[in-house]
Structure 1
Amino acid sequence: MSRLFLGLDLPDDVDFDLSLMAGGIRGARWQAVEQLHLTLHFLGELDGGEARRLIAALDQVETPAFELQLGGAGVFPPRGQPRTAWIGVTRGVEPLELAHQRCARIIDACGVERDRRKWTPHVTVARMGRDADSREVNEWVRNHALYASASFRVEHLRLYSSIRSQQGPKYRTEAVFALRD
């Protein structure tokens, strides 16, 4: 059984920008560069047969390539004790949502369970423990609220597997799906 999610990789220059934001919140666990991505759908544990059927179906996704830009900063949940610090999406939201919806239909048609909570496109940059100081978190958000990445072209979606380790999850690309213009 593999723990899978569907997402998109970020260009190296954007990964580098986001890595420079790590710091300023005691007790935060900052994502390593190789962990940075934007999740479209978390799928959970799938056996080999389910994964193969899903890969074959997703290979037929009809979604055009698009331009994307990251920007702004925030935390989840928006009220109460923050658990996750993130960078949002400022450009390309509509085509990203279209890709999300079309992939959801394919995933559902395959009978694969997916996370059905409201989806907010973002890149997780840190996870916080219970001892995170809300003043430090608020200051981090203020300091990065005006961040805007370089615009980049999204031409592929990726199916990742997540392997748990002492140093945090390790992600491996299981399949790549070309977006069609």
Structure 2
Amino acid sequence: MRLFTALALPDEIAPPLLLMQAGVPGARWQKREQLHLTLRFIGEVDGAQATAIDDALATIAVPSFTLELKGVGSFGGKIPRDLWAGAAPSEPLVHLNRKIESALQRIGLEPEARKFTPHVTLARLKNSPRGAVMDYLTDHALYASTPFTVTAFCLYSSKLTSDGSIYRVEKEYGLTS
């Protein structure tokens, strides 16, 4: 089982992101059910590890908070591989990420090697012209969502298919009010 933690996006946040999905050759745009804000990629685990992960995540107690998506970017440098919408700076979001990271390390998972860059993946890119990617980033640089309240985070499973990943919420963990 391939797992990760993320924030599900409220229904009012997704439509503007879906409307931004155009204009880049070679982009495989994410569907509504694929949109989420990744908190921590976990990777392949067995059943016993999945149970331990669930138990560890269930102990996390952080207050709900308000979040806003802001700006766009790409991963991959000179050979862009993803387009994404970012999150506005948010100490409560970083705090939640740290709590998840700490809980997972306590049960023996390796620390996340990548710096936490909160984002919603909009597209996977394959042979997309760098100029088209740069134009996309310029055209959508001022993107900002309406603020929304984060009341939970989720443990997702991911199944890779030829049509892209299929994500399923395995468990939702409420934040305190």
Bin for the TM-score computed over the shorter chain? over 0.9
Contact 2:101 2:112 (C-alpha < 8 Å) held by counterparts: no
Distance, in Å, in 2 between the alignment partners of 1:175 and 1:80 is 37
Identical residues among aligned pairs (%): 42
Distance, in Å, in 1 between the alignment partners of 2:112 and 2:31 is 24
State the Cα distance separating 1:137 from its structure 2 match: 0.6
State the Cα distance separating 1:115 from its structure 2 match: 3.3
Q: Unaligned stretches of 5+ in structure 1?
A: none
- Aligned residue for 2:120? 123
- What's the secondary structure of 2:17's corresponding residue? helix
Equivalent residue in structure 2 for 1:97, among 94, 99, 106: 94
Alignment of 1:35-114 (within 5 A): 35-77=34-76, 79-90=77-88, 93-113=90-110
Equivalent residue in structure 2 for 1:143, among 139, 153, 165: 139
Q: Unaligned stretches of 5+ in structure 2?
A: none
1:157 lines up with 2:157 in the alignment: no
CA displacement, residues 52-84 of structure 1 (integer Å, 9 cap, x when unaligned): 11111211102111000001111113x311111
Distance, in Å, in 1 between the alignment partners of 2:162 and 2:131 is 29
State the Cα distance separating 1:16 from its structure 2 match: 1.1
State the Cα distance separating 1:49 from its structure 2 match: 0.9
Q: What amino acid is aligned across from residue 96 of structure 1 in structure 2?
A: L
State the Cα distance separating 1:27 from its structure 2 match: 0.7
Contact 1:42 1:114 (C-alpha < 8 Å) held by counterparts: no
Q: What amino acid is aligned across from residue 42 of structure 1 in structure 2?
A: F
Which 4+ runs in 1 deviate beyond 4 A?
A: none
RMSD: 1.1
TM-score (norm 1): 0.94
User: How many residues matched?
Assistant: 177
- Aligned residue for 2:26? 27
TM-score (norm 2): 0.96
